[in-house]
Amino acid sequence: MIRASDIEQAAEVLRAGGLVALPTETVYGLGADAENPAAVARVYSAKGRPPTHPLIVHLAGAEHLDSWADGVPDAARLLAERFWPGPLTLVLRRGSRVPLEATGGLETVALRVPNHPVALELLKVFGGGVAAPSANRFGSVSPTTADHVRAELGDAVDFILDGGPCEVGVESTIVDATGDTLSILRPGGVTRESLEEALGFPLAVPEASPVRVPGQHPSHYAPRARVVLVEPDEVVAEAARAQDQGHQVGVFLPPAFADAPVKAHAVVRVPDSDATYAHRLYGYLRELDEQGCDLIIASLPTEAGLGLAIANRLRRAAGPRDAG
């Protein structure tokens, strides 16, 4: 249980330029005072994240929008009112109080109001903006429990607020509202369908983002095991073949094949509900790593609703492992 004194202490750490791991409804964040460039620099070094990759600034409520962003378009304001607090990040023109260190040098800023009682209370008590990327080493799987944060970052964090497992389980949807038209830079916890319904017009989802978006790095969200994607009806045969070749195979068994006999080292039965799947996804990847799998065979869900974000993360987990 989190006590008021824990929140006070965490706010004090932020004021002193320290790092606080905080629970949100998406994943755990590694937070610093967004207006303190030295504190923000510590976030980058703790994560091993290149300094050109911008952070999301977390706010206590939509009423703070205009103090952190300039020239907020009506459509962005509508989305903030409709979806905040919630798993939606808006990219807007940077307000003057946002240091360039927090935006990776960009003239734009990513803002979000998280829907988690602990995060909201911390933001309220702290009073400022908290710059927070996911609380994991750069490129690896985002943490959805406080234990994941301890395992990934340990001593690099000054204070960890344990708010239990994250409800949504995948990162926020990022909407770019800096151009003439809105577009989705990264699919996430708010579905494309619900955004379009609120706006009354369709949203573009560019294949490769024109803006530099760290979440779009090919090998982002990757476990240690290599991830291979196949068609749902090939998962069982592919797993058996790789296991026979001497791999320690972890299988993501699609719901339609839940009862099929499987030859593998470890099996994850993919839930029927995309909400449950998103909630468990990163935990599954970590568990298969812990069980010693060196290869994960999975397939993509239908890319509608939360399935769009799940498929995006699986593709990136399966992406080429280069220098990042």
Q: Is 185 in the site for ligand AMP (CB under 6 A)?
A: yes
Q: Burial-class residue 5 by CB neighbours within 10 Å (0-12, 13-18, 19+).
A: exposed
Scan residues 100-119 and list those touching ligand AMP (CB under 6 A).
103, 106, 108-110
Q: Is 134 in the site for Mg ion (CB under 5 A)?
A: yes
The separation between CA 236 and the C-alpha centre of its own chain, rounded to angstroms, equals 29
Q: Is 183 in the site for ligand AMP (CB under 6 A)?
A: no
The separation between CA 221 and the C-alpha centre of its own chain, rounded to angstroms, equals 9
Of the residues 134, 173, 299, 312, which one makes contact with ligand AMP according to CB under 6 A = 134
Q: Is 24 in the site for ligand AMP (CB under 6 A)?
A: no
Interaction mask 91-130, Mg ion, x per CB under 5 A: ----------------------------------------
Of the residues 95, 133, 187, 301, which one makes contact with ligand AMP according to CB under 6 A = 133
Kindly compute the dihedral angle of the four CA atoms of residues 40, 48, 104, 279, in this order, to the nearest 10 degrees: -90
End-to-end CA distance of the chain: 37
The candidate with the shortest Cα–Cα distance to 57, out of 76, 40, 79, is 40
Mapped onto helix, strand or coil, the DSSP state of residue 245 is coil
Of these partners, Mg ion, ligand AMP, none, which one is at the site of residue 297 (CB under 5 to 8 Å by kind)?
Answer: none
The separation between CA 195 and the C-alpha centre of its own chain, rounded to angstroms, equals 18
Of the residues 7, 39, 56, 253, which one makes contact with ligand AMP according to CB under 6 A = 56
The two tokens of residue 276 are 């449950």
Q: Is 171 in the site for ligand AMP (CB under 6 A)?
A: yes
Query: Residue 132 CB, nearest distance to ligand AMP (Å)?
Result: 7
Q: How many DSSP H helices and E strands does the chain contain?
A: 10, 14
Query: Residue 49 CB, nearest distance to Mg ion (Å)?
Result: 8
**Residues making up the chain, counted from first to last:** 324
Number of amino acids touching ligand AMP (CB under 6 A) = 19
Whole-angstrom Cα distance, residue 254 to residue 236? 9
Query: Residue 58 CB, nearest distance to Mg ion (Å)?
Result: 14
Query: Residue 170 CB, nearest distance to Mg ion (Å)?
Result: 11
Of these partners, Mg ion, ligand AMP, none, which one is at the site of residue 158 (CB under 5 to 8 Å by kind)?
Answer: none
- Nearer Cβ to ligand AMP, position 13 or 175? 175
Of these partners, ligand AMP, Mg ion, none, which one is at the site of residue 62 (CB under 5 to 8 Å by kind)?
Answer: none
E-state strands within the chain = 20-22, 29-33, 56-58, 69-70, 88-94, 108-112, 130-131, 159-160, 173-176, 183-186, 226-229, 249-253, 266-269, 295-298
Of these partners, ligand AMP, Mg ion, none, which one is at the site of residue 190 (CB under 5 to 8 Å by kind)?
Answer: none
Q: Tell me the CB-side half-sphere exposure of residue 48, using CA atoms within 13 A.
A: 9
Name the residues that contact ligand AMP, by CB under 6 A.
Answer: 54-56, 91, 103, 106, 108-110, 133-134, 171, 174, 185-186, 211, 213-215
Name the residues that contact Mg ion, by CB under 5 A.
Answer: 134
